[in-house]
Amino acid sequence: MSEQLVFAMEVFANGLMSGVLYALVALGFVLIYKASGIFNFAQGVMALFAAMTLVGIQNGQVPFAHLINAIFGTHVHSFGWNISSAFALILTVGVMILLAWAVQRFVFRHLVGQEPIILFMATIGLAYFLEGFADLMWNSEIKTLTFCLPGELCLPQGMNLAIDDAAYNAWGVGFFIDNLDITATLVAIVLVIALVAFSQYTKQGRAMRAVADDHQAALSVGISLNFIWVLVWSLAGFVALVAGIMWGAKSGVQFSLSLIALKALPVLMLGGFTSIPGAIVGGLIIGVGEKMFEYCFGIGQCFGGVINLGGATENWFAYVLALVFLVFRPQGLFGEKIIERV
Amino acid sequence: MFYREAGDFKKTYSADNQTFPIKIDRVGYYLALVVAFLVIPFVINDYWANAILLPFLIYSIAAIGLNILVGYCGQVSLGTGGFMAVGAYACYKLMTSFPDVNIFFHVLLSGGITGFVCVIFGLPSLRIKGFYLAVATLAAQFFLVWLFNRVPWFYNNSASGQINAPERMVFGVPVTGPNTEAWATYLFCLVFLVLSALIARNLTRGMAGRKWMAIRDMDIAAEIIGVNPLKAKISAFGVSGFFVGISGALFFALYLGAVEVGEAFGITKSFLVLFMIIIGGLGSIFGSFAGAAFLVLLPVVLKVVGVDMLGWPTDIVAHLQLVIVGGLIIMFLILEPHGLAQLWRVAKQKLRLWPFPH
């Protein structure tokens, strides 16, 4: 096999992997949108907040240490203990549930019945609030995330040597895939199966789907909307936590983590806001599409380099693809058909 | 007692239809103009101009532009930063290509160019609605910023990739470049702001504005009663782009002087202007001013209180600012979805009855 073809395949595979990570974030959007009609712009910041909380708890940071020091002139920074990842994970899930409750109680309960666009803007406000809050709580420096479950099961780093060796033996050319990406893919698959199982086979999951179908009908058969919304936000918080761990382990826990939400938006547009399979397929299309486009036209590797746009096309390709796609199919790939009545 | 329309008789149709039908409003408006044009230029200094007045004037223009699109026509746009960048780069190219033409026309022209670009990105709005459109406008934001970063023609192949405003005169007084006086840049921006506000105000209360509002309230119903959605939406994008482009040009040429596109016109700028019109009030020209003033003043006030008075580190104050802005947005959406403009309206309504409310 020619070196270039293998390289293209490598780009393709890496695109698939990053597509899975996009899909992971998009999943959180879809969950909330289906159940409450809220387009949650804060999903990315929730991922950031979750990852920061996890790291903060692990390292025994004192919350709001900076603020406390500034007000009282003290010098507290750390409790001086280290908590195991598994326990910190449970605590973080607890924090995310608390957050879900607070968001529901103090923001969206007061906005029931408002126009969707108002709700959307409220989530932008929420995103800003959470971002500042997270920075105040755990300070804004870049943190490294090491995540180890009991039994030395750490998140792997570096490239996968087995695949590299196999490719080298077969084609005489190395094949680069990040171990972390493989793990993320597996985790995402497990997560999706778990979510589907939850919504199909448990009582709460069925209630969730009922709410998604029709609020009033769900209310009239005795489902508590408040509970379901808190549940959905908690689930989204959990998905955000998983996404935060994966992205955080990949590139450090820092502000740019919250920008993955922006990348998840075109994924949603492609897949349709209301479809979980759509989020996954959309994520894969975007992930592969932007990597291949960058490879072919961004740095000019295809067709003898006729088109060379000078790189960094990943910034906009996803949006433009989604835009062009939507002009032909306004509800996305799997979205519900939009019916308008006067 | 003083604020009422009783006794203020109108004798002609045009008098009945004027922008400020109540006398005290009219007096206040002229008074504000007199203060803005004749008093402030004499007392202004560099700190006030650069920290508060110039950003306020420029953001007000951007907010008016975005308000026409979002508040009046209901098409949510997250691409304001990108469109401001179009205005800035258009202005730069015009300034360097035609150095003899007055910069006044350059700014106007760059507004026109931005309007055109905005229309192109607005075309999908005929098919795409709501959130989908909001996300689609992000395409404009990221694509335009990338374009200005990567294509050397836009920044005249300068080594740093930045654009720098050359010195230009208006009536022999420099308004751009290193040797400007605070009052000159202030007046130049003020002229554009007043013009923009006048145009916007009269557009929105005329036929065009009513069509936009009909589209905003329910586009299908509007179509049935005979509003052409193509024309209404496209014209909203065009007009909005015109104002946003002017503000981008002024932001670059007069306020910053040198611009690196990703930093000055990134996605945060889009959100900032969007927040201005949410806090100020969607669908209100006054709201655009109020929101811009609020969000320009807030960081300044926070810095004065937090850093100078309490002695906190700047990063805490910066984070606190995010918390406060986010919290305020949510608070406004819950308590007063129509923003500061509605508070103003309520206050005026109360004032009409004061001091005899029964």
Instruction: Enumerate the residues of chain B whose CB falls inside 8 A of the CB of residue A131.
Output: 322, 326
What is the reported pLDDT for A248?
81
- Which residues, in sequence order, are CB contacts of A207 under 8 Å at separation 6+? A218, A223, A228
**Annotated domain spans of chain B:** 20-353
User: What proportion of chain A, given as a percentage, has pLDDT over 70?
Assistant: 86
- Which residues, in sequence order, are CB contacts of B126 under 8 Å at separation 6+? B229, B230, B233
| DSSP assignments along A190-214, one per residue | HHHHHHHHHHHHSHHHHHHHHHHH-
What is the reported pLDDT for A283?
87
Q: pLDDT class for B211, splitting at 50, 70, 90?
A: very high
Region B306-318: what's the mean pLDDT?
79
Whether A262 contacts chain B with CB within 8 A: yes
Fold for B20-353, please state it: ABC transporter involved in vitamin B12 uptake, BtuC (1.10.3470)
Question: Which of A315, A321, A331, A340 to mutate to probe the B interface, most B CBs <10 Å?
Answer: A315
What is the reported pLDDT for B109?
92
Higher pLDDT, A126 or B356: A126
Note the maximum CA span of chain A. 67
Q: Which of A12-21, A61-70, B130-139, B225-234 has the lowest mean pLDDT?
A: A61-70
What is the reported pLDDT for B328?
86
Q: pLDDT class for A158, splitting at 50, 70, 90?
A: low
**A218-274: pLDDT as tens digits:** 889 988 888 888 988 898 899 888 888 888 877 777 777 777 777 888 888 888 777
Region B256-282: what's the mean pLDDT?
86
What is the reported pLDDT for A310?
67
Q: pLDDT class for B200, splitting at 50, 70, 90?
A: very high
Question: Which uninterrupted H or E stretch holds A247?
Answer: helix A225-251
Distance from CA of B250 to the nearest CA of A (A): 26
What is the reported pLDDT for A304?
62
Whether B182 contacts chain A with CB within 8 A: no
Instruction: Enumerate the residues of chain B whose CB falls inside 8 A of the CB of residue A129.
Output: 322-323, 325-327, 329-330
Whether B295 contacts chain A with CB within 8 A: no
Tell me if B117 sits within 8 A of B241, measured CB to CB.
yes
Region A97-101: what's the mean pLDDT?
92
User: Would you say residue B237 has pLDDT above 90?
Assistant: yes
Using the beta-carbon criterion (under 8 Å), do A130 and B333 form an inter-chain contact? Answer: no
Instruction: Enumerate the residues of chain A whose CB falls inside 8 A of the CB of residue B81.
Output: none
What is the reported pLDDT for B58?
93
Nearest to A342 among B76, B218, B274 (CB): B218
What is the reported pLDDT for A159?
66
Distance from CA of A39 to the nearest CA of B (A): 8
State the average pLDDT for chain B: 86
Distance from CA of B162 to the nearest CA of A (A): 17
Region B326-337: what's the mean pLDDT?
85
Using the beta-carbon criterion (under 8 Å), do A124 and B274 form an inter-chain contact? Answer: yes
Whether B307 contacts chain A with CB within 8 A: no
What is the reported pLDDT for B39?
84
User: Would you say residue A84 has pLDDT above 80?
Assistant: no
The residue in chain B having the minimum alpha-carbon distance to the alpha carbon of residue A136 is: B319
What is the reported pLDDT for A192?
82
User: What is d(CA B135, CA B139) in angstroms, rounded to the nearest whole number?
Assistant: 7
* φ, ψ for residue A205, nearest 5 deg: -65, -40
**B6-56: pLDDT as tens digits:** 777 888 888 888 888 777 888 888 898 888 888 888 888 888 888 888 999
State the average pLDDT for chain A: 80
User: What is d(CA B54, CA B60) in angstroms, rounded to the nearest whole number?
Assistant: 10
Q: pLDDT class for B337, splitting at 50, 70, 90?
A: confident
Using the beta-carbon criterion (under 8 Å), do B138 and A265 form an inter-chain contact? Answer: yes
Residue type for A300, please?
G
Using the beta-carbon criterion (under 8 Å), do A70 and B316 form an inter-chain contact? Answer: yes
User: What is d(CA A318, CA A296) in angstroms, rounded to the nearest whole number?
Assistant: 15
Region A297-318: what's the mean pLDDT?
70
The residue in chain B having the minimum alpha-carbon distance to the alpha carbon of residue A309 is: B150
**B253 Cα distance to chain centroid:** 16
User: Would you say residue B60 has pLDDT above 80?
Assistant: yes
**B79-123: pLDDT as tens digits:** 899 999 999 999 999 988 888 888 889 999 999 999 999 999 888
ipTM (interface predicted TM): 0.82
Q: What's the pTM?
A: 0.87
Tell me if A195 sits within 8 A of A28, measured CB to CB.
no
Nearest to A140 among B127, B315, B328 (CB): B315
Whether B20 contacts chain A with CB within 8 A: no
What is the reported pLDDT for A157?
66
Q: pLDDT class for A150, splitting at 50, 70, 90?
A: low
What is the reported pLDDT for A55?
86
What is the reported pLDDT for A101?
92
User: Would you say residue A100 has pLDDT above 60?
Assistant: yes
User: Would you say residue A1 has pLDDT above 60?
Assistant: no
Tell me if A122 sits within 8 A of A111, measured CB to CB.
yes
- Quick one: DSSP state of residue B226? T
The residue in chain A having the minimum alpha-carbon distance to the alpha carbon of residue B327 is: A129
Whether A29 contacts chain B with CB within 8 A: no
